[in-house]
Amino acid sequence: MEHNGVKRMRPEEIKVCVLRIEGTNCEEETHRAFAAVGCNPEMVHLNQLTGHGPASARRSLEDYDALAFPGGFSAGDYVRAGAIFAARAKSALGKEIKEFVEAEKPVIGICNGFQILVELGLLPATDGISDVPTAALFTNDSGRFECRPTYLRNENRGKCIFTKKIGRGRTMMFPSAHAEGKLMSAERRFVDRLEDNDQVVFRYVSPDGRSAGYPWNPNGSASDIAGICNPAGNVLGLMPHPERALDAYTAPDWTRRRKKEGDGLAVFRSMVDSLSR
Protein backbone atom coordinates (compact mmCIF):
# COMPACT_ATOMS: atom_id res chain seq x y z
CA MET A 1 0.00 0.00 0.00
CA GLU A 2 1.26 3.44 -0.84
CA HIS A 3 -0.21 6.45 0.93
CA ASN A 4 1.07 10.03 0.64
CA GLY A 5 4.30 8.65 -0.72
CA VAL A 6 4.98 6.66 2.48
CA LYS A 7 4.84 2.90 2.34
CA ARG A 8 1.94 1.61 4.44
CA MET A 9 1.99 -2.05 5.27
CA ARG A 10 -0.48 -4.58 6.44
CA PRO A 11 0.76 -6.26 9.66
CA GLU A 12 1.41 -9.58 7.93
CA GLU A 13 3.62 -7.80 5.40
CA ILE A 14 5.96 -6.59 8.12
CA LYS A 15 8.96 -8.90 7.98
CA VAL A 16 10.85 -8.87 11.27
CA CYS A 17 14.41 -10.16 11.54
CA VAL A 18 14.89 -11.63 15.04
CA LEU A 19 18.66 -11.79 15.04
CA ARG A 20 20.61 -14.31 17.08
CA ILE A 21 24.02 -15.79 17.67
CA GLU A 22 25.18 -18.38 20.17
CA GLY A 23 23.93 -17.46 23.63
CA THR A 24 21.02 -15.35 22.40
CA ASN A 25 18.25 -17.06 24.28
CA CYS A 26 15.08 -14.98 24.16
CA GLU A 27 14.56 -15.28 20.42
CA GLU A 28 11.58 -17.63 20.60
CA GLU A 29 9.49 -15.40 22.84
CA THR A 30 10.55 -12.32 20.86
CA HIS A 31 9.46 -14.09 17.69
CA ARG A 32 6.18 -14.98 19.41
CA ALA A 33 5.62 -11.36 20.44
CA PHE A 34 5.81 -10.11 16.85
CA ALA A 35 3.66 -12.99 15.65
CA ALA A 36 1.08 -12.18 18.34
CA VAL A 37 0.51 -8.73 16.83
CA GLY A 38 0.21 -10.12 13.32
CA CYS A 39 3.74 -9.56 11.94
CA ASN A 40 5.81 -12.00 9.97
CA PRO A 41 8.89 -12.60 12.13
CA GLU A 42 11.81 -14.92 11.35
CA MET A 43 14.64 -16.08 13.60
CA VAL A 44 17.86 -15.42 11.72
CA HIS A 45 21.38 -16.37 12.78
CA LEU A 46 23.99 -13.66 12.17
CA ASN A 47 25.84 -16.21 10.03
CA GLN A 48 22.87 -16.26 7.66
CA LEU A 49 23.27 -12.53 7.04
CA THR A 50 27.03 -12.60 6.68
CA GLY A 51 27.13 -15.60 4.36
CA HIS A 52 29.06 -17.77 6.77
CA GLY A 53 27.11 -21.00 6.49
CA PRO A 54 25.33 -22.90 3.73
CA ALA A 55 24.02 -20.87 0.78
CA SER A 56 20.50 -22.21 1.17
CA ALA A 57 20.20 -20.49 4.54
CA ARG A 58 21.44 -17.10 3.28
CA ARG A 59 19.36 -14.01 4.19
CA SER A 60 19.74 -10.31 3.48
CA LEU A 61 19.03 -7.63 6.09
CA GLU A 62 17.54 -5.21 3.58
CA ASP A 63 14.69 -7.64 2.93
CA TYR A 64 13.33 -7.02 6.43
CA ASP A 65 11.16 -4.19 7.68
CA ALA A 66 12.11 -4.39 11.35
CA LEU A 67 15.02 -5.74 13.34
CA ALA A 68 15.05 -7.18 16.86
CA PHE A 69 18.01 -7.97 19.08
CA PRO A 70 16.61 -10.39 21.67
CA GLY A 71 17.81 -10.96 25.22
CA GLY A 72 20.29 -13.54 26.37
CA PHE A 73 24.01 -13.81 26.93
CA SER A 74 25.33 -13.47 23.40
CA ALA A 75 28.69 -15.20 23.09
CA GLY A 76 28.55 -15.64 26.86
CA ASP A 77 28.96 -11.95 27.64
CA TYR A 78 32.31 -12.80 29.17
CA VAL A 79 33.60 -9.40 28.06
CA ARG A 80 31.21 -6.44 28.46
CA ALA A 81 27.62 -7.51 27.93
CA GLY A 82 26.75 -7.30 24.24
CA ALA A 83 30.27 -6.37 23.16
CA ILE A 84 31.06 -9.51 21.18
CA PHE A 85 27.77 -9.64 19.29
CA ALA A 86 28.15 -5.93 18.50
CA ALA A 87 31.74 -6.33 17.30
CA ARG A 88 30.84 -9.25 15.08
CA ALA A 89 27.76 -7.53 13.66
CA LYS A 90 29.69 -4.34 13.04
CA SER A 91 32.61 -5.90 11.22
CA ALA A 92 30.47 -8.00 8.90
CA LEU A 93 27.32 -5.94 8.64
CA GLY A 94 28.06 -2.44 9.93
CA LYS A 95 27.05 -0.66 6.75
CA GLU A 96 23.78 -2.58 6.31
CA ILE A 97 22.74 -1.97 9.90
CA LYS A 98 23.52 1.73 9.61
CA GLU A 99 21.45 2.01 6.44
CA PHE A 100 18.63 0.08 8.09
CA VAL A 101 18.55 2.53 11.00
CA GLU A 102 18.91 5.59 8.76
CA ALA A 103 15.96 4.40 6.69
CA GLU A 104 14.06 4.75 9.98
CA LYS A 105 13.05 1.13 10.02
CA PRO A 106 12.13 -0.01 13.57
CA VAL A 107 14.87 -1.62 15.65
CA ILE A 108 14.31 -2.97 19.16
CA GLY A 109 16.89 -4.33 21.58
CA ILE A 110 15.68 -6.04 24.71
CA CYS A 111 17.99 -6.68 27.69
CA ASN A 112 21.13 -8.08 26.03
CA GLY A 113 19.77 -6.54 22.83
CA PHE A 114 19.81 -3.10 24.51
CA GLN A 115 23.40 -3.71 25.56
CA ILE A 116 24.23 -4.59 21.96
CA LEU A 117 22.58 -1.44 20.58
CA VAL A 118 24.62 0.67 22.99
CA GLU A 119 27.81 -1.18 22.02
CA LEU A 120 26.96 -0.60 18.34
CA GLY A 121 26.64 3.14 19.00
CA LEU A 122 23.02 3.08 17.79
CA LEU A 123 21.89 4.22 21.26
CA PRO A 124 21.74 6.77 22.67
CA ALA A 125 23.18 8.32 19.46
CA THR A 126 22.18 11.73 20.74
CA ASP A 127 24.67 13.28 18.31
CA GLY A 128 24.10 10.68 15.63
CA ILE A 129 25.32 7.09 15.33
CA SER A 130 28.67 6.88 17.08
CA ASP A 131 31.71 4.80 16.23
CA VAL A 132 32.40 4.09 19.87
CA PRO A 133 29.83 3.54 22.61
CA THR A 134 28.86 6.75 24.42
CA ALA A 135 27.01 5.01 27.24
CA ALA A 136 27.17 1.70 29.05
CA LEU A 137 24.91 -0.70 30.86
CA PHE A 138 26.95 -1.27 33.96
CA THR A 139 26.81 -3.95 36.68
CA ASN A 140 23.73 -3.65 38.89
CA ASP A 141 24.25 -1.78 42.17
CA SER A 142 23.46 -5.00 44.04
CA GLY A 143 26.33 -6.72 42.22
CA ARG A 144 23.96 -9.58 41.46
CA PHE A 145 21.79 -10.94 38.70
CA GLU A 146 18.27 -9.73 39.52
CA CYS A 147 15.20 -11.60 38.29
CA ARG A 148 12.13 -9.76 39.50
CA PRO A 149 8.98 -8.01 38.32
CA THR A 150 9.56 -4.37 37.38
CA TYR A 151 7.05 -1.65 36.65
CA LEU A 152 7.69 0.88 33.90
CA ARG A 153 6.09 4.23 33.27
CA ASN A 154 5.89 5.38 29.68
CA GLU A 155 7.80 8.68 29.71
CA ASN A 156 8.00 9.32 25.99
CA ARG A 157 6.34 12.41 24.57
CA GLY A 158 5.55 10.75 21.26
CA LYS A 159 8.79 10.21 19.41
CA CYS A 160 9.36 6.50 19.98
CA ILE A 161 7.44 4.35 17.53
CA PHE A 162 7.30 1.48 20.02
CA THR A 163 5.30 3.54 22.52
CA LYS A 164 3.34 5.92 20.29
CA LYS A 165 0.11 4.06 20.94
CA ILE A 166 0.71 3.70 24.67
CA GLY A 167 -0.67 6.51 26.79
CA ARG A 168 1.98 8.75 28.29
CA GLY A 169 2.33 8.08 32.00
CA ARG A 170 0.84 4.59 31.79
CA THR A 171 2.47 2.10 34.17
CA MET A 172 3.14 -1.40 32.87
CA MET A 173 4.72 -4.56 34.27
CA PHE A 174 7.56 -6.09 32.27
CA PRO A 175 9.83 -8.42 34.26
CA SER A 176 13.57 -7.82 34.49
CA ALA A 177 16.33 -10.39 34.53
CA HIS A 178 19.85 -9.08 34.19
CA ALA A 179 23.15 -8.49 35.96
CA GLU A 180 24.21 -5.42 33.94
CA GLY A 181 21.43 -2.90 33.47
CA LYS A 182 22.59 0.32 35.07
CA LEU A 183 22.56 2.96 32.35
CA MET A 184 25.54 5.28 32.70
CA SER A 185 27.47 7.72 30.59
CA ALA A 186 30.45 10.00 30.99
CA GLU A 187 28.81 12.53 28.67
CA ARG A 188 27.94 15.87 30.23
CA ARG A 189 24.25 16.48 30.88
CA PHE A 190 23.57 12.89 29.75
CA VAL A 191 20.08 12.57 31.23
CA ASP A 192 19.11 16.16 30.49
CA ARG A 193 19.99 15.77 26.84
CA LEU A 194 18.02 12.53 26.61
CA GLU A 195 15.08 14.39 28.13
CA ASP A 196 15.52 17.39 25.80
CA ASN A 197 15.49 15.07 22.78
CA ASP A 198 12.52 13.01 24.00
CA GLN A 199 14.79 9.95 24.12
CA VAL A 200 13.70 8.72 27.53
CA VAL A 201 11.10 6.03 26.94
CA PHE A 202 10.64 4.09 30.19
CA ARG A 203 11.39 4.74 33.85
CA TYR A 204 11.28 2.22 36.69
CA VAL A 205 8.51 3.02 39.14
CA SER A 206 6.61 1.27 41.95
CA PRO A 207 3.40 -0.61 40.99
CA ASP A 208 1.34 2.50 41.73
CA GLY A 209 3.45 4.56 39.35
CA ARG A 210 5.62 6.52 41.76
CA SER A 211 9.37 6.98 41.69
CA ALA A 212 10.94 4.42 43.95
CA GLY A 213 14.38 3.03 44.70
CA TYR A 214 15.55 -0.56 44.86
CA PRO A 215 14.12 -3.11 44.24
CA TRP A 216 11.70 -1.34 41.90
CA ASN A 217 14.72 0.05 40.11
CA PRO A 218 16.66 -3.22 40.12
CA ASN A 219 20.00 -1.91 38.92
CA GLY A 220 20.48 1.67 40.12
CA SER A 221 20.13 3.14 36.63
CA ALA A 222 20.57 6.92 36.35
CA SER A 223 17.30 8.76 36.88
CA ASP A 224 15.53 5.35 37.04
CA ILE A 225 15.82 5.03 33.24
CA ALA A 226 14.86 1.60 31.93
CA GLY A 227 14.64 2.28 28.21
CA ILE A 228 15.72 4.91 25.68
CA CYS A 229 15.28 5.55 21.98
CA ASN A 230 17.45 7.28 19.39
CA PRO A 231 16.69 10.88 18.39
CA ALA A 232 14.63 9.68 15.40
CA GLY A 233 12.55 7.41 17.64
CA ASN A 234 12.87 4.26 15.53
CA VAL A 235 15.47 2.50 17.71
CA LEU A 236 14.39 1.40 21.19
CA GLY A 237 16.51 -0.30 23.81
CA LEU A 238 15.18 -1.43 27.17
CA MET A 239 16.37 -3.74 29.92
CA PRO A 240 13.01 -5.28 31.04
CA HIS A 241 11.32 -7.89 28.90
CA PRO A 242 8.01 -6.90 27.24
CA GLU A 243 8.08 -10.22 25.34
CA ARG A 244 7.73 -12.03 28.68
CA ALA A 245 4.46 -10.20 29.36
CA LEU A 246 2.29 -11.18 26.40
CA ASP A 247 -0.59 -12.83 28.20
CA ALA A 248 -2.24 -12.23 31.55
CA TYR A 249 -0.93 -15.47 33.05
CA THR A 250 2.76 -14.71 33.14
CA ALA A 251 2.24 -11.69 35.41
CA PRO A 252 3.74 -12.26 38.86
CA ASP A 253 0.50 -11.49 40.71
CA TRP A 254 -2.13 -12.82 38.29
CA THR A 255 -3.72 -15.07 40.92
CA ARG A 256 -4.47 -11.89 42.92
CA ARG A 257 -5.63 -9.56 40.15
CA ARG A 258 -6.23 -10.55 36.57
CA LYS A 259 -5.67 -8.41 33.50
CA LYS A 260 -7.08 -8.95 30.03
CA GLU A 261 -3.68 -9.32 28.41
CA GLY A 262 -0.04 -8.88 29.20
CA ASP A 263 1.31 -5.34 29.29
CA GLY A 264 4.15 -6.12 26.90
CA LEU A 265 1.94 -6.63 23.88
CA ALA A 266 1.39 -2.87 23.63
CA VAL A 267 5.03 -2.27 22.64
CA PHE A 268 4.85 -4.57 19.64
CA ARG A 269 1.37 -3.43 18.69
CA SER A 270 2.54 0.16 18.74
CA MET A 271 5.23 -0.61 16.20
CA VAL A 272 2.76 -2.37 13.92
CA ASP A 273 0.33 0.52 14.19
CA SER A 274 3.06 2.98 13.29
CA LEU A 275 3.96 1.06 10.16
CA SER A 276 0.48 0.14 9.07
CA ARG A 277 -1.54 3.29 9.69
Partner 1 sequence: MALDSLMSRKLQDPPVVEVDIHAASEDQLMEMSQEMGLSLSLDEMKTVREYFANEGRSPTDIELQSIGQAWSEHCCYKSSRVHLKEFVFAIDHPDVLARGDAGVMAFDDDYAYALRLESHNHPSAIEPYGGAATGIGGILRDVVCMGAQPIALVDPLCFGPIDSDAELPPGAKHPRYLMDGVVSGIRDYGNRVGVPTVSGAFFFDDRYTGNCLVNVGCLGIVKRSEVCNNFVGGPGEVLILCGGRTGRDGIHGVTFASVELKESSEEESRGSVQLGDPITKEPLMHACLEVNRLGLITGMKDLGGGGLSCVVGEMALDADCGAVMHLDRVPLKEEGLAPWEIWVSESQERMMLATTEDKVDAILDVFRTWDVLATVVATTVAEKRTTIMWGDEKIFEMDLQFLTGGPEYCRPYEITIPKGELGEVVPELPANEKALLSLLSDPNVASKEWAIRQYDHDVRAATVLRPLVGESNDTGPGDAAVLRPLHDSWRGLATAVGCNPWFTALDPYRGGMSAVDETCRNLVAVGARPHSLTDCLNFGNPEKPDRLGQFREAVRGLGEAAAFLELPIPSGNVSLYNESPKGGALPTPMIMGVGIVEDIRKCVTSDLKEAGNSIFVVGNTMREMGGSLLYRLYGGEGGEVPSVDLDALKKKIDLMLKAMSKGMVRSCHDCSDGGLAVALAEMCIGGSMGASIQLKGLGDLEPYELLFSESNGRWIVEVSSDHEEDWVALMGAHAQWVGVAGGPSLMIHGGGIDVALEKLKKAWNEPIWNIMG
Residues 80-109 that bind partner 1 (CB under 8 A): none
CB atoms closer than 10 angstroms to residue 177: 18
Cα gap 88→94, rounded to integer Å: 9
Cα gap 184→236, rounded to integer Å: 16
Active site residue 160: no
Active site residue 241: yes
Residues 5-34 that bind partner 1 (CB under 8 A): 22-23, 25-26, 28-29, 32
Residue 213 interacts with partner 1 (CB under 8 A): yes or no: no
In the three-class reduction of DSSP (H, G, I as helix; E, B as strand; rest coil), residue 102 is classed as helix
CA angle 239, 96, 131 (to 5 degrees): 65
Cα gap 65→9, rounded to integer Å: 10
Calculate helix-pair angle for 265-276, 27-36, nearest 10 degrees. Answer: 50
Residue 76 interacts with partner 1 (CB under 8 A): yes or no: yes
Shortest Cβ distance from residue 206 to partner 1 (Å)? 9
Instruction: Closer to partner 1 by CB, 102 or 253: give it.
Output: 253
Catalytic residue among 111, 155, 160, 180: 111
Site string for partner 1, 140-159 (x = CB under 8 A): ----xxxxxx-x--------
Structural contact between residues 85 and 34, judged by C-beta atoms closer than 8 angstroms: no
In the three-class reduction of DSSP (H, G, I as helix; E, B as strand; rest coil), residue 123 is classed as coil
Residues 33-72 that bind partner 1 (CB under 8 A): 45, 47-48, 53-54, 56-57, 71-72
Cα gap 263→246, rounded to integer Å: 7
Instruction: Closer to partner 1 by CB, 88 or 193: give it.
Output: 88
Residue 207 interacts with partner 1 (CB under 8 A): yes or no: yes
CA angle 273, 231, 77 (to 5 degrees): 90
Backbone angles phi, psi at 235, to 5 degrees: -115, 120
Residue 253 interacts with partner 1 (CB under 8 A): yes or no: yes
Active site residue 111: yes
Q: Kindly list the catalytic residues.
A: 111, 241, 243
Site residues for partner 1 per CB under 8 A: 22-23, 25-26, 28-29, 32, 45, 47-48, 53-54, 56-57, 71-73, 75-78, 144-149, 151, 173, 175, 177, 207, 215-216, 241, 243-244, 246, 249-250, 252-253, 255-256
